[in-house]
Amino acid sequence: MKRIDFSFLGDQTVVFKLSQVRALENKLSHSIYRNRIVACLATCCLLLGPGITRGADSNEIAFEIQGEYVGRIVHPDFPTKSGLQIVATSNIDFTAYLLDGGLPGAGWDQVNRVLFSASGTGNLQFQSPESPIELTRLAQYPNLIFVYHNGFRIGTFHKKYRDSPTMHLAPPAGAIVLFNGVDAPRLKDAKINPNGTLGIGAETTDLIQNARIHVEFRTPFTPEKEGQSRGNSGVYIQRRYEVQILDSFALDLEANRCGGLYRQKSADINMALPPRSWQTYDIYFYSAKFDDAGKRNQRARITVVQNGVKIHDNYELISKTGAGRAESPQPGPIWFQNHGDPVEFRNLWLVNLDDGEVLSSDLNPAYGIFEKAAGRADEQNVATDSHCLPKRTGPIQRMIGRLPGR
């Protein structure tokens, strides 16, 4: 092996096979071309990043590996469009989920999923007891996952970075701006981070009954942590009802995971993006109604859209959630929960509403995600139990069943 040190790139060192360098020198013997080769290789080093560098931080390498990928698995019988989500469970351990049809909210049927796992840094070989397919990640191609069967490549996945369609959504006329990146005059206990984001623990000075709420948040990348310690916060409406914030990327649906109505109802679909991604909640909330004696006669209702996909559709809240305050006719503040984890917020605003009111801008047919927010549903969704999901019978599973060597 011959080591070529690009000192002008700082501490990045790239190793190439001597035969590869000599082959290039033989083809292009003139010194000017050798200089161009070195410049080209240096450019490749910059483009490929830490995947081919030595001494890179293992946490950052794990961060680069985890994420969402899209591609196709090409088989004589089943050319299958698929999604792939890779979760870092430590700096060297990874779980991957192969999703039939695409990513959540973008083609996946929420049923057909195959689990893979791998350990290492840089080059990874994902394998599954459920499948003869192998998923390969090569350090020199950090944004690609190659799919192999019996030594033949049958597919390629490309890394996908998704943004919410309501990211940076401007507050409409009459909105109460809670945080705009500069100050937070309508929040108490607001802590603005050096990077201009809002820290945890702030609470609105305004008390709300019915409101349309926009929240942008980001969870940290903490692969060494598990469960409720993995980027935990929440949007506590009236300090009674919590929409959970958590790094629940690619996990099964549970009521205490991201998007869940804490301990009461899971999201209808897991739309959590990878940690460190900015995400959005767009919420319509209508408070519970009480008679003159103080007895509740109508439940509070909530519609939640996460990253542009509806995860709660006009759900009637059975009661307060978790450690929320007791229900009453009185309005309450919104609290951005302090659970001790470094969750960040930005672009926070709300609009007070009359009972049943929906903003005309949210009824735009091109957007159309709040068309039923004000209506009372005849039936309510119940918490999803992952153990009761239908048996997998989609194209990925049918393909696996017919591949040689199964």
Residue corresponding to tokens 């709040």: 370
Question: Does residue 26 or residue 50 have the better pLDDT?
Answer: 26
Residue 105: the pLDDT is 96
Tokens representing residue 223 in the block = 């692969």
361 confidence band (pLDDT: 50, 70, 90)? confident
Stretch 81-99: mean pLDDT, rounded? 96
The answer to whether 40 and 33 are in contact (CB under 8 A) is no
Residue 370: the pLDDT is 72
pLDDT of 47 > 50? The answer is no
Residue 79: the pLDDT is 57
pLDDT of 389 > 50? The answer is no
Please state, rounded to an integer, the average pLDDT across all residues of the chain: 82
Q: What is the spatial distance between Cα 399 and Cα 396, in angstroms, rounded to a whole number? A: 5
Q: What is the spatial distance between Cα 68 and Cα 66, in angstroms, rounded to a whole number? A: 7
Residue 366: the pLDDT is 52
263: CB partners within 8 A, 6+ apart: 255, 256, 321, 322
Stretch 31-58: mean pLDDT, rounded? 50
Tens-place pLDDT, residues 251-277: 999 999 999 999 999 999 999 999 999
The set of long-range contacts for 41-49, using a CB threshold of 8 Å and a minimum separation of 24, is: 41/4, 41/6, 41/14, 41/16, 42/6, 42/8, 42/9, 45/6, 45/9, 45/12, 45/14, 46/9, 48/140, 48/141, 48/142, 49/142
Q: What is the spatial distance between Cα 405 and Cα 152, in angstroms, rounded to a whole number? A: 13
Question: Does residue 1 or residue 93 have the better pLDDT?
Answer: 93
Q: What is the dihedral of CA 179, 170, 372, 337, to 10 degrees?
A: -20
Residue 405: the pLDDT is 33
399: CB partners within 8 A, 6+ apart: 73, 75, 77, 78, 80
117 confidence band (pLDDT: 50, 70, 90)? very high
Residue 369: the pLDDT is 65
3-class secondary structure for the chain?
Answer: CEEEECHHHCCCEEEECHHHHHHHHHHCCCHHHHHHHHHHHHHHHHHHHHHHCCCCCHHHHHHHHCEEEEEEECCCCCCEEEEEEEEECCCCEEEEEEEECCECCEECCCCCEEEEEEECCCCEEEEECCEEEEEEECCCCCCEEEEEECCEEEEEEEEECCCCCCCCCCCCCCCEEEECCCCCCCEECCCECCCCCECCCCEECCCECCEEEEEEEECCCCCCCCHHHCCCEEEEECCCEEEEECCCCCCCCCCCCCCCECCCECCCCCCCCCCCCCEEEEEEEECCEECCCCCEEECCEEEEEECCEEEEEEEECCCCCCCCCCCCCCCECEEECCCCCCCEEEEEEEEECCCCCCCHHHHCCCCCCCCCCCCCCCCCCCCCCHHHCCCCCCHHHHHHHHCCCC
Question: Does residue 227 or residue 349 have the better pLDDT?
Answer: 349
11 confidence band (pLDDT: 50, 70, 90)? very low
Lowest-confidence range among 214-218, 285-289, 375-379? 375-379
Domains and CATH numbers, the chain: 2-52 (no CATH), 58-160 (2.40.128.20), 176-375 (2.60.120.560)
> How many whole angstroms from its chain centre is CA 298?
34
Tens-place pLDDT, residues 48-68: 443 333 345 889 999 999 999
* Strand-pair category, 152-160 with 67-73: antiparallel
226: CB partners within 8 A, 6+ apart: none
Tens-place pLDDT, residues 376-388: 433 333 333 333 3
Residue 400: the pLDDT is 34
The answer to whether 145 and 156 are in contact (CB under 8 A) is yes
Residue 329: the pLDDT is 97
Residue 368: the pLDDT is 55
Residue 54: the pLDDT is 39
Stretch 368-394: mean pLDDT, rounded? 43
Q: What percent of the chain has pLDDT over 90?
A: 68
Question: Does residue 3 or residue 26 have the better pLDDT?
Answer: 26
> Is residue 252 packed enough to be buried (19+ CB in 10 Å), middle (13-18) or exposed (0-12)?
middle
